[in-house]
Amino acid sequence: MAEATNMRLRLPLLCIILEVILIILFGTLVEYNVDTDAKLWNANKNQSATRHDYENEFYYRYPSFQDVHVMIFVGFGFLMTFLQRYGFSSVGFNFLIAAFSLQWATLMQGFFHGMHHGKIHVGVTSMINADFCTGSVLISFGAVLGKTSPVQLLVMAIFEVTLFAVNEFILLTILGANDAGGSMTIHTFGAYFGLVVTRVLYRPNLDKSKHRNSSVCHSDLFAMIGTIYLWMFWPSFNSAITNYGDPQHRTAMNTYYSLASCTLATFAFSALVNPEGKLDMVHIQNAALAGGVAVGTAGEMMLTPFGSMIVGFLAGTISVLGYKYLTPVLESKLKIQDTCGIHNLHGMPGVLGAVVGAVTSALASPAVYGNGLQGVFADGEPGEWNAQSRGGFQAISLVVTLGMALIGGLVTGFILKLPIYGAPPDTHCFEDGLYWEVPGEEEGHHELNEVATPSETEKLNS
């Protein structure tokens, strides 16, 4: 088994090859945009006597970028540390695939959105968008957490980032959909892509690692660090690339109230579904964030504060009920082994967010938005606005996203199923010691090279 999971050559070769390819592609295709290039920025500034350095886009977008960046590397990373013997891998592999994905996403999104005379122009907005794409990959990572090697995760990221960029182009450019906070493009896509991948990689004997697929007090506490970071910065996430002015302000506020309402629903239903009325830390870590997911599409619209609170309350409710009742059914009936329960945090709330966005778009009118209609909807010009058509395109976007995620996940899953990536055996999933030097566990390395017998597993479970 040690030979089968050995990363001595697999991981270094893949990392070096990928980074060399990225450097070559960046060298030939990528250049600074107007707000980043020394010559272009100063030339434009000199042409306008009233233009100042502080009007550079950097100063408007960078605070939001840094919040999103913290969510990607700290929030998602620590959210997955709940497994008692997989903390190194949760944070470490999150770090690895995020660092790769943001570079690959810059290229893939640039091919579709940012090509200017054969070059991809990059700036702070492209950095935010690349992080968004990376977030979708990390959502899928949650479904296969503990059951995949770092090589498999990098290969998954290659395909998912590419398909994400294609889906995003179809939704935002061809269909003209609104989805600034990514209920569809990020959460729904990432969740159902990951669920199909984990279904294809189904492990019939995963019960042999059941004793490791659980938390202890300190691992749950670490996971709560991720939750709090994500919860605090989610208003920045949803509003990061919205138009300046009232849409950005409104998006942050709608997300703020949705998260607060969602948290109360999470605590309420977590206690309600427990026969002893006790809270489940899994619910608090995850379902309390569902409100941020569910207002991702409609956040910039005139959802109103109380509408945001209703959406957040619904999101928290369906997320907790999903963890309690739906996850066991998905595993027993559909053979979907969803380690982090991404269906409950990102899948169902993402679909809810898409539906809320479609309904809110269909109800939009100049009477409500006034001259601000075009600031939210690209096709909101006076005399051309058709609310029902816009709502229909939003609904079509959800269908397209689900189709792309399911088909893409299916193909990627079969590619990852090839026995060449050093995946852990069923008997030693959720175990850091396979891929990391774990301090103080030298004796445990010997145990990792042995396959546990059913009788040993039963003893551990008891």
* Alpha carbon distance 148, 134 (integer Å): 18
Helix or strand or coil: residue 122?
A: strand
Res 443: pLDDT: 45
Starting at the edge strand found earlier in the chain, the sheet holding 30-32 runs 30-32, 119-122, 115-116
Domains of the chain: 10-36+64-453 (1.10.3430.10)
* Alpha carbon distance 149, 161 (integer Å): 18
* Alpha carbon distance 425, 205 (integer Å): 9
Res 350: pLDDT: 98
**Residue 118 CB coordination number (10 Å):** 7
Closest to 135 in 3D by CA, of 240, 58, 25, 220: 240
Q: Which residues of the chain have pLDDT under 70?
A: 1-3, 48-50, 382, 441-462
Burial of 47 (0-12, 13-18, 19+ CB in 10 A): exposed
Res 1: pLDDT: 52
Strand-pair partners of 434: none
* Alpha carbon distance 150, 156 (integer Å): 10
Res 449: pLDDT: 43
* Alpha carbon distance 155, 152 (integer Å): 5
What would you measure as the largest C-alpha separation in the chain, in angstroms?
Answer: 80
Res 49: pLDDT: 59
* Alpha carbon distance 207, 327 (integer Å): 16
Q: In the numeric block, which tokens belong to residue 100?
A: 């790769």
**Residue 216 CB coordination number (10 Å):** 11
